[in-house]
């Protein structure tokens, strides 16, 4: 299963990544960073198709998707 990595020091809480996710694999969390911004979080990573659109649209380079290779 793919994993989401968020750098809370870079995130400004815009949640553009949440809106961009076609599978709704991520959502807003209850967590905030030291600056008071709401952080995104994994919602249902089984819905993540690995497109990395959330990573691409993040204006602050605060989010990364780690793609897990399929085991054969």
- Per-residue model confidence as pLDDT tens digits over 20-45: 999 999 999 999 999 999 999 999 99
**Domain enclosing residue 25, as ranges:** 3-66
> For residues 19 and 56, what is the distance between their CA atoms, to the nearest angstrom?
12
Confidence bin at 70 (pLDDT 50/70/90): confident
Q: Are 39 and 58 in contact (CB under 8 A)?
A: no
Q: Judge whether 71 lies within some domain.
A: no
Confidence bin at 53 (pLDDT 50/70/90): very high
- Total-model pTM: 0.88
Q: Judge whether 38 lies within some domain.
A: yes
Please give the average per-residue pLDDT across 49-62, as a whole number.
97
Q: Judge whether 47 lies within some domain.
A: yes
DSSP 45: G
Q: Are 18 and 4 in contact (CB under 8 A)?
A: no
Neighbours of 5 (CB within 10 A): 11
Q: Judge whether 13 lies within some domain.
A: yes
């Amino acid at each position: 299963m793919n994993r989401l990595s968020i750098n809370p020091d870079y995130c400004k809480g815009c949640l553009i990544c949440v809106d961009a996710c076609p599978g709704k694999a991520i959502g807003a969390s209850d967590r905030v960073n030291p600056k008071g911004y709401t952080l995104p979080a994994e919602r249902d990573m089984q819905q993540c198709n690995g497109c990395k659109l959330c990573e691409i649209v993040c204006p602050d380079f605060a989010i990364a998707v780690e793609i897990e290779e399929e085991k054969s």
